[in-house]
Structure 1
Amino acid sequence: MSSSPEPRVSRREFDAIFAEVRTWGRWTPADRGAWNRVTPEHVRRAASLVRSGTAVALGLPWDTRGGPDNRRPALHHMTDLGDVEAPEPATYKDFLAVDYHGKAVSHLDALSHVAYGGRLYDGRPAREVIGAGGARFGSVAALGPLVTKGVLLDLPAVLGTDWLEPGRAVHARDVLAAERALGVTIDEGCAVLLRSGRFRRSRELGPWDSGAASAGFHVDALPLLAERGVALLGADGDSDLRPSPVEGVHSPVHALAVAAMGVPLLDNLDLESVSAACAEAGRHEFMIVVAPLNVPGGTGSPVDPVAVL
């Protein structure tokens, strides 16, 4: 797998890729996008991958501390400490709030989260369907739950390293090499999870501004993933290579996956435990369950997906 310097991708080249992978007009309902690919047969196929019954959570802990990778810490405070005189039993309650789109919260990006050239997925003008009350197209509430086959592209395991350094691109050729090395197949309706080892690196070396530098997919990998018909893309980063290789586009994988392909994204997954579980099981395919919050008008949702081996 090559680590040569990344050539810049022009806006014209990027726009050609966008047109190549675009699936506008393909599905009804349109705001479920590529999740329309997942049929009951795909769910049964995913269930057949469950052998040991090991369930592994993929979400990060709720992070209330600020840092270079958490500019907007989550909120958590108690609203009832059981100290008000009342009939038994005593109750304890708390309040949670978060600006979850960012680098610190495991979350799902719905199809209303990303517009390119002013248009959301399916060509819907963003300003016409998103306002102060939320999204009237592409809301996370339109997605519902997803159960499908998950494929872990564990690049550090393939390369024999602890992690990929920030700024390391994962090209189409790397995806193909990882399939061969891990014995996996990316096919229609599956969820592809890219492990770069971000959180192992963070735990050993300390956090850094992953918005400025992170390993992720190069745009040349997206036509391959589009050809395979993936339904979901996720990573322990946000799937994007940073700095962006595309002139004038800061999150090109977001634009291609969400706005062109209708593929929701899972950002900031903790893939360390599932990496260990896959290594122990000797396989990197499993059933994945994703159940975003049912938020009408929401552009996404905090989420704690589960891999079941």
Structure 2
Amino acid sequence: MRWKNRPEGSNWGDFGPDDQLGRVNLIGAEQVKKGAAEVRAGRSFCLSLPLDLPGGNLLNPRRNPPRLQPTWRGDKPMLNFPMTRIDPDAVDVVSDDQVAICLQYSTQWDALAHVGARFDADGDGRDEMVYYNGFRADDDVQGPLQYADDGSEHACGCDGPHQSYAHALGIENMAQHGMQGRGVLVDLAQRYGHERKLIGLAELQEVMQADGVQVERGDFLVLRTGFAERLIEMDGKPDPEVLHHSCSVLNGRDDKLLAWITESGIAALCADNYAVEAYPAPAVDGRKSILPLHHHCLFKLGIPLGELWYLHDLARWLRENGRSRFMLTAPPLRLPGAVGSPVTPVATV
């Protein structure tokens, strides 16, 4: 057993001592059938932004837009490559490319290895860096450096060619399980517009009750705030000052909201904004998480978060047809060891 203590309000161990899926375990055959039952019109909606948006790196200096380039045959780029160079009688022209991409630059999933916490999991009175279900930093989630609380650091080489590798809780677990089931849309933008608004349980339930939205165990909860639409309007030149003061964001400090997320049984939480929750979170004194919703969902409950999804067209169709549910198909890349992934979600109605 990797832990003796589990965080208060967590579900560590409920799906087994070695579980790496968390609440994704709730997406099973019945949820797939519930999703399929929502397909009546036979229409599909792409829920991804173009993966070169937001544009630039002003919103997050660590994350840069994707960079495409050709593969190479010797010193020749394989773009519009005439195969007559190989066989003079060949008629083929070949293009073949590759990409350098930050996995969480645009429309994305957060894996459970994305955010952990300092927590005394082994009961020795000292905190250690752990992730969902007690998996350990450095042992299970490896990087090129080990960080200590005193500010020191030292190298800890990852296996093989990788400088980072999640041996546990990587995105491939979600991909292999299959991220397909019933999505439920809550349209915050339709109610609150594009002004910055902090959403707690009261505001969320106000919209759900007014629109007749019901969420059940195993559903994907999908929140439209309008943020992705503002990004598209900026056409690859995002204005951080405008965006940081735009659209609804969840209040991760609202204990009632966090309790509802626990009790609702949702399997995943997705939104069209950056981080889903307000960052920085509303200030509080003392020991805390600066990403309290991430802490609650990823670290405690194993609920993956989807960010920067594009929801405008789906939301309009659902509203015009008096619906809020749809079939959602949203597998991440099956990329072993990654802590996040681009995704092209598809809603079918």
The separation in 1 between residues aligned to 2:309 and 2:21, in whole angstroms, is 22
Work out which of the residue numbers 82, 92, 96 in structure 1 matches 2:95.
92
Q: SS at the partner of 2:81?
A: coil
TM-score normalised by length of structure 1: 0.85
Matched residue SS, 2:130: coil
Corresponding position of 2:331: 291
Where does residue 149 of structure 2 map in the other structure? none
Separation (CA, whole Å) in 2 of partners of 1:233 and 1:120? 18
* Aligned mates of 1:225, 1:251 — CA distance in 2: 15
In structure 2, what is the Cα distance between the partners aligned to 1:246 and 1:186?
A: 30
Following superposition, the deviation at residue 154 of structure 1 comes to 0.7
SS at match of 1:216: strand
Matches within 5 A, 1:1-309: 19-20=8-9, 22-28=10-16, 30-63=19-52, 65-69=55-59, 71=61, 72-79=64-71, 80-84=78-82, 85-86=85-86, 87-101=90-104, 104-117=105-118, 118-131=129-142, 132=158, 133=162, 134-144=165-175, 145-159=178-192, 161=193, 163-165=194-196, 168-204=197-233, 207-209=238-240, 215-219=248-252, 220=254, 221-237=257-273, 238-247=275-284, 249-309=289-349
* RMSD between aligned residues: 2.1
> In the alignment, is the contact (CA less than 8 A) between 1:246 and 1:252 conserved in 2?
no
CA distance 1:246–1:42, shift in 2 (3 Å):
farther
How far is the alpha carbon of 1:109 from its aligned partner? 0.8
How many percent of aligned residue pairs carry the same amino acid?
27
CA contact (8 A) 1:58 1:307 kept: yes
Farther-moved stretch of structure 1 (194-203 vs 41-50): 194-203
Structure 1 runs (4+) greater than 4 angstroms displaced:
203-206, 210-214
Superposed displacement of residue 281, structure 1: 2.1
Q: 1:94 to 1:70 in 2, by over 3 A?
A: farther
Structure 2 counterpart of 1:3: none
Distance 2:132 2:245 in 1: 27
Please list the CA deviations of residues 41-83 of structure 1 after superposition, one character each: whole Å capped at 9, or x if unmatched.
1111111011111111111102174153364121112332223
Is there any run of 5+ residues in structure 1 with no aligned partner, and where? 1-17
Q: Report the TM-score, using the length of structure 2 for normalisation.
A: 0.76
- The structure number with the bigger radius of gyration is 2
Q: Give, in whole Å, the separation in 1 of the partners of 2:103 and 2:333.
A: 12
Alpha carbons of structure 1 residues 70 and 120: separation in structure 2 relative to 1, 3 Å: closer
In 1: Cα distance, 2:239 partner to 2:289 partner: 22
The count of corresponding residues between Structure 1 and Structure 2 is: 285
Q: Which has the higher helix share?
A: 1
